[in-house]
Structure 1
Amino acid sequence: MPIASPRLAGALAASGALLALLGCGGGDDRPPVGTTQLSPATPASFQGACKDLAAKLASLANTTISTSTDVGAGALTVGGQAVPAHCQVTGAMFARTSTVDGNSYAIKFEMRLPLAWNGRFFHQGNGGIDGSVVPATGSFGGGPLTHALMQGFAVLSSDAGHAASLGPNFGVDPQARLDYGYQAVGKLTPIAKKVIDSAYGKGPDRSYFGGCSNGGRHTFVAAARYPEDYDGYLAGAPGYKLPKAAIANMFGARRYASVATNPADLSTGFTPTERATVARAVLARCDVLDGASDGLVQDTEACRVAFDLARDVPTCGGSRDGSCLSPAQKTAIAPIFSGAINSKGESFYSSFPYDSGIGAAGIAFWEFTAPLALDSGAVGIIFKVPPENPASFNGPAFALTADIDAMLAGIEATNAVYTESAMSFMTPPNPTRLEKLKNRGAKMMVFHGVSDPIFSVDDTKAWYEGLAAANGGDASSFARFYRVPGMGHCSGGPATDQFDMLSALVAWVEKGAAPDRVTASARGAGNAGGVNAELPADWAANRSRPLCPYPKVARYNASGSLDSADSFSCR
């Protein structure tokens, strides 16, 4: 709930009826349920001195504010631009010593509060298994030229309730599991709004939640569990079935291991040269399906029909030389793309589309390293009930030899100590039932790279189709989904991966300007937000494309530059 301004507290207390009408004040003049348009946020300036804010917040329940420090203009830069002056607040909530593993825990956080505030709050969902309070800038997209802090938002970042030094071992503590999954968000939100109220004399008029990867999962969970706390949700690569996606990635690791020429290196099962060969074969079949031969597969659905791994990639007649795949490789790799299965042949995670980004360098980490170094610990210690013993746990061995059916049972299990399963605390309850979000005028935008190798864009597509079905066949009045051709996990790949969806989301929430397309650019030579080394040499450094709301596809208009978004329409 929004927090009442101290300056309004007396007036509101004088009238119970007015208090009921306004909710909790703080400038949050949300319309009644059933309306679809929220009013714009109103800017405000920081009140008092930043150094005095910590003392003003000393009475926050279950919370200790450690510091409030001025950060001068230009101390941070984004895309070569100086971030405006702001106040940095650090603190921790619910400090405790675990009775299960004896470790110390707390939900640590920081907030960055612009001196010139736009009236908005952005809750930054972070990636991986959290554990670190990364700078609260509210970044989004690949190599952005702007972010929420730059735009004047008050931004919150947290470690989700555990320290990075523990690695996945925090999963031994049942409360740390729940905080990581969803409870840290529920605890932080009201405190963050109180901090904002103390800093500006009013709470946020509009609140937004966003992040990519696990941050996208956090966003999906927040939309389902906390639909009344935020007005806009921006989710990138939302691994909202993260426990199953992690097991699917270990399923894939076993397939690669079966054809690896070096058992200690999974990448020898599908080398960079071989992946580039497959990427060329995909483009040969699918590039022109959107009307332009431009190194991008816009029509993903048509490509499913047009491309066949067995037929369209040359089969090695002799030794592997990079120009072909052996029969054993094709047999091993095809099930990764068709979707992971259990011992009964039943699918437990989504398919992955073939796309031009399969040859990108970033794919290797997620396909060959992450299953052994990340997914194994997450499944074995954070998600499984009971967890594996950290003292004897061997991640690579677990990834390559542990029974997958047992893993799937473990992420659904509970016991007296771990009373919520991973599929409860890590995933959004009823993810396609977002009536509360819809009815109060909130909006949701979701983007996902088509070449994402860890969280499948097909899984997000299935979610969106389910959301549409739950809303009479069309959810576009409050939620839109954008596929990013060629892009890997959150960024990178042969893609136009630089875009500002936050501004588009704000315009939709506060002005009713539906985002019919979002312009994305490549990050070629000279890009201030960081150069993407995986761009093809024949692309213009600033190539642009429209990102289209599903199921529309960016199609060439039959004339105009292939490097300009103006030459393409969403159809």
Structure 2
Amino acid sequence: MRLPCRVASAAVLALAASTGAHAASYLAKHCADLEGKEVPASVIGLPTRGATIWSASVVKAAAPGNRNGEYCRIVGSIKAVQDNTPDIRFEVNLPSRWNGRALQMGGGGYSGVLVSGTEPMPFAPDSTPLAKGYATFGSDSGHVGNSGRADFAANDEAILNFGFGHLKKTHDVALALIQLGYGRNPDKTYFAGGSTGGREGFTVAERYPNDYDGVIANAPAINFSGVRLMGVKVGQASYGKPGGFVGLAQQRRVIETVQQECDKLDNAADGIVSNVEACRKLEPKIIADLRCANGQRPSLRDSCLSDAQLATLNTLRDGLNLPYLLAFGVDTYPGYNVYQGVDFSGVLGLGDSPVLVNPPGFAVNGYLFAQGDAYIKHFVTRDLTYNSIGFDIANPGRYRQRLMALSATVGAMNTDLTGFIARGGKLIAMHGLADEVISPNQTIAFYRLLVDRFTQDGVDAFMRLYMVPGFQHGNGVFIPAWDELGALDRWVTDGIAPETLVGTDIAPTTNGRSRPMCRYPAYPRYIGRGSIDNAANFRCVYADVRP
């Protein structure tokens, strides 16, 4: 049975007049009636062939493993335009005790896994939005499988879905089902995600500003083409030049040397490099301490770094500068805080082998290069035999237009947020200063572009940026747990703009300590008395930020 354009069926029309406990009762009784129904393409704002509900059932509050209270779980698919394009799988969850708000949750990596909307927020592990009464929804971004190999990129419609299409299509289907379930639209609709989901957050603010009242975007991969080309450049330095690979012993030597020089720059010996800008000024000394002396060569016993290895690290530090423009005038990818606290020896680091395998593996050849290699093979050249070590980033020839098109489709570097601002939308972004996957300096650079365009007062009216010392890409010596969704909702609903917040460390060895979550460009500095594990004994102070 096809649901009409106004999304009301005979089985659930009575719900539109129900509220409170009556609505919850009706939702529980008639949830299963939705199974097999169709949402017409006419209610979806991008081309599709409509959506089909595969299953709809009530999950009881007492169901084993359920921490979300009673809700109606709806799973289905949105039919692609082309027969050879994978459908978009989606899930929508309608809580019996609805708070009148909806939350779309973003994916990670290359997605390919259904975002159920039943899990906690990444940095609020103690509760779920669904349990708090949010109607939640997510999708698989339009393909199945998140191996990192990006096989789906052989299909242009699948790339479009991954880049932005699945966001709008899933939103529109979900809003239709929410209207059907409760008889009205949400009072507020939010988006939240990190990494790929962070890019998706900026994407919806830029492309679909009228659909969202607030956005959370953490560690956002907004310059998708830039970070992938950066990965290729790192691989070329590591494996395309003699002696360029930086071994695990050298990687650990770097972080140990940086900690020795920079840990106490915030007045606390806590394992966190908080004053990144002061640490940056010590970079020449740090490099000198790392360099092998008098022609000495690195060995398993001595972890000094050769000039070739330092050149690889400097490649990471310096970032990417292109002699041509990608979409939205982008020609750079800012580098990483290599000598300011990033640990590249972990699972998302530079790898553990000087031997290049084909295809490159995350663990052996490094996450950045493995992803960059996959991007060149699957997205750019569509040639799985292509040797990305030989890809000329500065002069890509016939692939230049391809890079431009991809950066427009998969990326969120458009600073034109006038529609989102006019709607009154609010955006909270967070990024770890020690991120080894997505450069935090790209997020900072984009923020500065927004300030250039809208002035500082203008940006303050709709956006907050929190840069977190010691936090990597989901790991690190400080992993913050904080109520980001609550802060966004208070801002949108009550007009209470977030200022300094508090993050509680969930890193295994330092679990429970707290730090201020400082608005950029401030960082937390210990006041010199009281426990260094208590955020109350720190103050947010402003670093000497380079222009």
Q: Name the TM-score class by shorter chain.
A: 0.7 to 0.9
Q: Is structure 2 residue 546 aligned with structure 1 residue 567?
A: no
Q: How many residues align?
A: 495
Alpha-carbon distance change, 258 to 428 in structure 1, aligned in 2, over 3 angstroms: closer
1:70 pairs, out of 45, 55, 58, with: 58
Cα displacement string for residues 267-298 of structure 1 (whole angstroms, at most 9, x for unaligned residues): xx323332222112212222222222221111
Shift of 1:135: 2.2
* Paired residue secondary structure (1:566): helix
Q: Distance in 1 between matches of 2:342 and 2:313?
A: 16
Tell me the residue number matched to 1:33. Answer: none
Q: Provide the residue aligned with 1:284 in structure 2.
A: 260
1:542 CA drift (Å): 0.9
Superposed, which structure 2 residues align to 1:195-234 within 5 Å?
195-234=177-216
2:305 to 322, 325, 336: 325
1:544 to 502, 508, 514: 514
Inter-partner Cα distance in structure 2 for 1:337 and 1:109: 39
Match of 2:526 among 556, 560, 563: 556
- Contact residue 5 and residue 202 of structure 1 kept, 8 A: no
Would you say the 8 A contact 1:57–1:65 is kept in 2? yes
Q: TM-score normalized by structure 1? A: 0.79
Give 1:180's aligned amino acid: F
1:188 to 142, 154, 170: 170
Aligned partner of residue 79 in structure 2, secondary structure: strand
The amino acid across from 2:143 in the alignment is: H
CA distance in 2, matches of 1:548, 1:132: 33
Q: Are positions 1:297 and 2:273 aligned together?
A: yes
Residue 445 of structure 2 is aligned to residue 469 of structure 1:
no
Deviation at 1:460, TM superposition (A): 0.2
Q: Is the 8 A contact 1:256 1:333 kept in 2?
A: no
Contact 2:522 2:540 in 1 (8 A): yes
| Distance in 1 (alpha carbons) for counterparts of 2:57 and 2:75 | 9
CA contact (8 A) 1:181 1:426 kept: yes
**Match of residue 431 from structure 2:** 448
Query: Quick one: structure 1 residues 155 and 207, their matched pair in 2 at CA, closer, same or farther if it must change by over 3 Å?
Result: same
Q: For 1:155-194, what per-residue CA distance to the aligned partner results, in whole angstroms no more than 9, with x for missing partners?
A: 1111222232895232222222211111222222222111
2:116, 2:139 within 8 Å by CA — same for their partners in 1? no
**Shift in CA distance, 406/199, structure 1 to aligned 2, threshold 3 Å:** farther
Q: Which AA in structure 2 matches 1:196?
A: I
Contact 1:89 1:110 in 2 (8 A): yes
Deviation sequence 1:499-551 (CA, Å, 0-9, x none): 22111111111112221122212225xxxxxxx4xx4xxx4x31111111101
Name 2:440's counterpart in structure 1: 457
Cα distance in 1 between the residues matched to 2:132 and 2:521: 30
Q: For residues 254 and 228 of structure 1, do their structure 2 counterparts lie closer, same or farther at Cα, with a shift above 3 Å needed?
A: same
Listed as ranges, the matches of 1:289-438 within 5 Å are: 289-308=265-284, 309-316=286-293, 317-320=296-299, 321-341=301-321, 348-353=332-337, 354-358=339-343, 361-364=346-349, 368-371=365-368, 373-382=370-379, 384=380, 387-389=381-383, 393-394=384-385, 398-405=387-394, 407=396, 410=399, 412-413=401-402, 421-428=405-412, 430=414, 432-438=415-421
How far apart, in 2, do the equivalents of 1:44 and 1:178 lie?
37
Of residues 252-261 and 175-184 in structure 1, the stretch that sits farther from structure 2 once superposed is: 252-261
**Deviations for 1:450-476, whole angstroms, at most 9, x for unmatched residues?**
121221100000111111222223312
Quote the offset at 1:148 in angstroms: 2.0
Match of 2:358? none
> What TM-score do the two structures reach when normalised by structure 2?
0.82
Q: Does 2:465 align with 1:485? A: no
Give 1:106's aligned residue. 87
Amino acid at match of 2:320: A
Give SS of 1:82's match. coil
Q: Deviations over 1:94-137 (max 9, x none)?
A: 24544xxxx34212111122121111111111011222213223
Q: 1:18 maps to what in 2?
A: none
The equivalent of 2:131 in structure 1 is: 150
State the alpha-carbon separation in 1 of the partners of residues 214 and 25 from structure 2.
24
Unaligned runs of 5+ in 2: 10-15, 42-49, 325-329, 352-361, 542-547
Alignment RMSD: 3.1
Deviations 1:428-454 (A, max 9, x none): 362x22122223221001111112122
Q: Is the 8 A contact 2:32 2:55 kept in 1?
A: no
CA shift for structure 1 position 198: 1.2
Q: Secondary structure of the residue that 2:92 maps to in structure 1?
A: strand
Determine the C-alpha separation between the residues in 2 that align with 1:349 and 1:250: 12
Structure 1 residue 307: deviation in Å? Answer: 2.4
Residues 46 and 116, structure 1, Cα contact 8 Å, conserved in 2: no
Q: Name the counterpart of 1:52.
A: 32
Query: Unaligned stretches of 5+ in structure 1?
Result: 8-24, 27-42, 415-419, 525-531
* Per-residue CA distance 1:324-374 (angstroms, 9 max, x = gap): 212321123212111134599x97311211333415523426683334543
The 8 Å contact of residues 451 and 488 in structure 1, kept in 2 or not, is answered as: yes
CA distance in 2, matches of 1:468, 1:408: 34
Q: Deviation of residue 409 (structure 1)? A: 6.5
